[in-house]
Chain A
Amino acid sequence: MKQINITLKPFVYLICLCVLMSCENEFLDVRPDKALVVPQTLDDFQAILDNTSVMNVAPGLNEVSADDFLATEAAWGVLSEVEKNCYIWQPDLFGSQPSVEWNYPYQQVFYANIVLNGLSALKPDMAQISRWQNLHGSALFYRAIAFYHLVQIFASPYGSGDQASQPGIPLRLDQGIEKKSTRSSLKESYDQIEKDLLMAVELLPERTNYKSRPSKAAAFALLSRLYLTMGNFEKSLVYADSSLKINSQLMDYSLLDSTSLSPFPSALPNGNVEVLFHTAKTPYLFETIPTVVVDPLVFSSFAHEDLRRVLFFNNRGNGIITFKGSYNSFNNGFAGLATDEIYLIRAECFTRSGKIAEAQDDLNFLLASRWKKGSFTPVKEDSQDALLLRIINERRKELVGRGLRWTDLRRLNLDARFAKTHTRRIGGHTSSLSPNDVKYVFPIPDNEILMNGLQQNPRE
């Protein structure tokens, strides 16, 4: 008995050990958290791009520095330090703090690059090829729009100097994080956006079921906006045209309820016919508090028959006019792409190329949908200059609060006809922003400058 025990027990022990060893790999391959995933499949990549709180966000501070909205003295005590700095165009905006205006777009670029990297490692079969292309195109589009938003804030206006030597933004084209960032030239930056978008239009489907996802119509629209920003009106016209060929719909404003405090149908998932691609502005108090009001000059430029006067604005008396015209009925303002903007781009490009009749058609088609039924008298301007001025004015009115005004100020300053000095008076101090001021380019947050030794934008 004793003998058996001595020989048997270690043997049993060994068997146990062997059994356990053999299942070791399986035992150690269990995922520690079911919610975790190493993105490898098309579904995984789609889920990354469907994170709307990362991918569908646009800058918000440019609106504070632009001229559509005014902060009253009462608002002043409430605004944050950064908003105050932006409002009165201080040299230092971020006070050595990081800024989401810089971080968010680069986070979008990072997400897009992860998807691009992952897709290149995947060999799609015939059944998957269209989804693969769609995701590839989407990632390129997201990267392009993020770069576009960055150059509108952190780089000089296109055409303000020698693009090849002016600093642009760092172009991160790979998911790796080891490489140091350097500022590409302004030309390289715009070239990259153009390249990504031109590739994206080849890959994207014409329309999507969700307006948070890019489509061919949206990519054409963004190309059109890009070329307009670059002053390339010919190409801008071509792509505005392409976009409108896919979606030319406008809402009939006379069908909307002007008494509603939120009169526009929600863009998401697919409720607003004009919206081509949805993004929402980064929220700031400047957007939400009632003591920040619409510039009275903007408000008074709307005729009484113009429905936008009551659909866009809430006139609460005592000069308190707040904005309610966002195409995003969720809390943060809409800053995406919509057909009304594309009509205005096409009208501007037609005018600039001398096609007065076509320009007027576009403008009148848009405005007719904005006015009370039967009250609108079509615009008739034979002079190219006068029509251009009219279109620029209508552009400001139609696109108020869309996050586009800052870019327009920057590009229009380059044309002496539209250049304008802005002043603001708060707490007894007056600040001003002259045309082509260096303050049209935001400083890059200190943490980025320090870690990569980047060239800072001059602010004084």
Chain B
Amino acid sequence: MRLRVRFSKIGKVRFVGHRDVARIIERALRRSGVPVTYSEGFSPRVRLSFGLALPTCYESDAEYLDIPLDPKSIVDGDVVCTGWGEGNTYSTEQLRMTLNEALPKGFEVMALVLEPKGGPSLQESVVSCTWRFDMRGAETDCVEKAIAAALESSTIEAERKKKNETLRENIRGGVHDLRIDGTSELGPMVVAELAAKPRVIRPSELVEILAPGAELGVARRTHQWIEREGERCEPLTPTNSRTVKDLT
């Protein structure tokens, strides 16, 4: 069995990189006594598999993580803890709350389920992500026009720097949704659903196209989408009551 977890990363902690997030989660799992499993070898590590890596500086309401558990520790659908959690047996909802206590401010477990191992990995199955971001120094009118023009056209040309050369490529096929959704104190707020395959398209690439000279403000991944029996859906839907901890 494994735990599948959906968590958020909001506020100052958006500047923490992906590898550091893994270390933070490992510490929270140890503090809570979650019966994790370890890799073999000279220096065993906790087995964790993350979904699509989130770029540093981005926020998220939709990070995913699979944690294989020691099968002996699952009793009647509850998780029997070890280590510093010795003596505790938690339902998944209790475990969700326990992990939230152990995580730093800015991280919150939004949903947690116990499920059988197997199936495609999170990383392979995510087809697209929805993002919400604002743009510093952009005019709403101009962005609106740029979006309309982009969606009408059959090409959206993005530039990517790769080593010494600049690649130009058409990303129109990877832009599934693109619209203005209000404004923030920085500028227009944009919602976009962008493909994760064959490569992940990032909001920062769109800023250059929609408002040259403007700067990406705060971007948040709000959804990661997978396909299940032809339907687009999320791996997990939030079960928390959105009691986001006081963010500084």
A and B are partners in one complex rather than unrelated chains: no
The interface of chain B, by Cβ under 8 A from chain A, is none
The interface of chain A, by Cβ under 8 A from chain B, is none
